[in-house]
Structure 1
Amino acid sequence: MVDHQQIRAWRPALAGIDEVFHARITDHVYPMHTHDSWTLLIVDDGMVRYDLDRHEHGALDQLVTLLPPHVPHNGRSVTPTGFRKRVVYLDSSQLEDSLIGLAVDSPVLEDPLLRQRIHQLHESLEHPGDELDTESRLALVSERLRDHLQRRVEDRTHVRDAGIAHRLRDLLDARFVEGISLQEASDTLHVHPAHLVRVFSREFGMGPHQYLTGRRVDLARKLLLSGMSPRLVAVSAGFYDQSHFNRHFKRSLGTSPGRYARSGPQSDLAPTQI
């Protein structure tokens, strides 16, 4: 059972916080439940084990736990001695409901400065009359929480964009000889052409056209060294014509295709006379 003498709960006269909850819990097990508010939790002693969105997590001291509203979770002590926690329940004026999904996957924040600021917020909440100080501390805490969630947006965007870039590279690899237009790639991958160029360039340090040309030049080198004439190589490697081939080959290697083909060691034996 919970010893109710170990629980303190109140609603402060401060916009943005629905409730403050301080407790030492020993053998009580919280069943699955939800809140309308964001649960901002710090543990001062012990460790809490909880399930959120069917995944198990842990809350312990030195870390910050942010549980989003409307998502079921439970809670129980990991050790026989229980745990001591402090919670503020933040309303949507501090964190918008649109951020809920970002908090579900990873509710634990390893941020010593944020942990310290939450501790200071709780201390300020204990002293009526310091409303300006409390309001200021709440603003700093909410700002840092939003920064964490915003970085997750950026991280997810980067991962998605990297995936798009690699899919475009695969498409270019499969079609580098016959070629593919940017619009065709856009239609195939269902991504705007400008975004394709942007994410590919950011991921690989070159544009799609430069990559495609590099693949063609690389093939041309192999064909030239195998003995194929430059004229046939131009067609076989996907270049528009001989002039197009010569220009890009020289830009890439600093020499013409013909000179490149003849640059290897020559046989000391004269050709057989017939």
Structure 2
Amino acid sequence: MVAWRPAVPGISEVFHARIVNYEYPKHCHDTWTVLIVDDGAIRYDLDTRHHGAVGRTVSILPPGVVHNGYPSRRTGHFRKRNLYLDSGFLPLDLVGRAVDGSSFEDAALRAAIGALHDRLTAPDPLDVEERLAAIAERFRHRLLRRPPVVRDPEPTVADGLRDYLDGHLTGDVTLKNAAHLLDRSVAHLVRSFTRRYRISPHAYVIGARIDLARKLLLDGVPPARVAAETGFHDQAHLTRHFTRHVSIPPGRYAAGYPKAASGS
């Protein structure tokens, strides 16, 4: 059993647990709870509705609604991964729909949630923001029970987002702020940008920061300072991405760079 709060906006808690022969008492949260089960099966009562979840399903429990949780009689246990997401994750007018239809099969959505969990031990906020936006959009479509109406990607919006990213490259970059400036949803921004430039906003920012880091390293700037000046959290964060992009860590990248001979 493990719980933590990743240093990214929108996620209040991550909780992984294996539960055996235990029943949660009735309680409620002030967050949206997204639940996937990796082994066994869970049953839960949400308000007056009875629901369950197994490996093929995704469950969402809305804020402020009383529920419990217990292993199914058949398995006697379950192993789960929970995301507790801030109340703004979905519109609150979807609470009733989530009570009525809390659990459903959606292989793509389950895979997206699993992939997000895999990245939350050492998260990149922009990457998490992209993934949460796509997950929220899919939940909206499922809860509304109608085919998604997806706005066509807009090249001009993609260009506007690129200008925003370039202007905030070494500081705090949030798609939420960009969405406010460009009057579009985060999911639409990501679709438009990815269609136009064949790369996600997160991957674009990381690549641009790595290019800047290379220049600074060759100027003799120490890796720790390079990390601070290029928008990475710390030297470890820089090293992880730099090694993936360049194949060697930043400390070795400029180690053999020939220094100009001093004049006599």
Q: Tell me the TM-score range normalised by the shorter chain.
A: 0.5 to 0.7
| 1:104 matches 2:99 | yes
Task: Report matched runs for 1:1-274 at 5 Å.
Answer: 7-78=1-72, 79=74, 81-128=76-123, 130-151=124-145
CA contact (8 A) 2:101 2:143 kept: no
CA drift at 1:14: 1.4
Kept in 2: contact 1:47–1:58 (CA 8 A) = yes
Tell me the C-alpha RMSD between the 2 structures: 1.9
C-alpha distance in 2 between matches for 1:109 and 1:152: 14
Query: 1:93 is paired with a residue of what secondary structure?
Result: helix
Asked if 2 retains the 8 angstrom alpha-carbon contact of 1:65 and 1:108, the reply is yes
Q: 1:117 to 1:153 in 2, by over 3 A?
A: closer
**Aligned-pair CA distance for 1:81:** 4.7
Post-superposition offset of 1:134: 2.0
- The number of residue pairs the alignment matches comes to 147
- More relative contact order in 1 or in 2 (CA 8 Å, sep 6+)? 2
Deviations 1:60-99 (A, max 9, x none): 1110001111111111111455110000011122112121
**Shift in Å, 1:153:** 11
The percent identity for this pair of structures is 54
Q: Distance in 2 between matches of 1:99 and 1:23?
A: 27
Alignment check: 8 A CA contact 2:6 2:121 kept = no
Structure 1, unpaired ranges of 5+: 1-6, 155-274
* Structure label with greater radius of gyration: 1
CA contact (8 A) 1:46 1:81 kept: yes
2:244 aligns to what?
none
Alpha-carbon contact 1:66-1:109 (below 8 Å) kept: no
TM-score scaled by length of structure 2:
0.53
The alignment partner of 2:87 has SS state of coil
Cα distance, 1:13 vs. partner?
1.3
- C-alpha distance in structure 1 between counterparts of 2:86 and 2:136, whole Å: 11
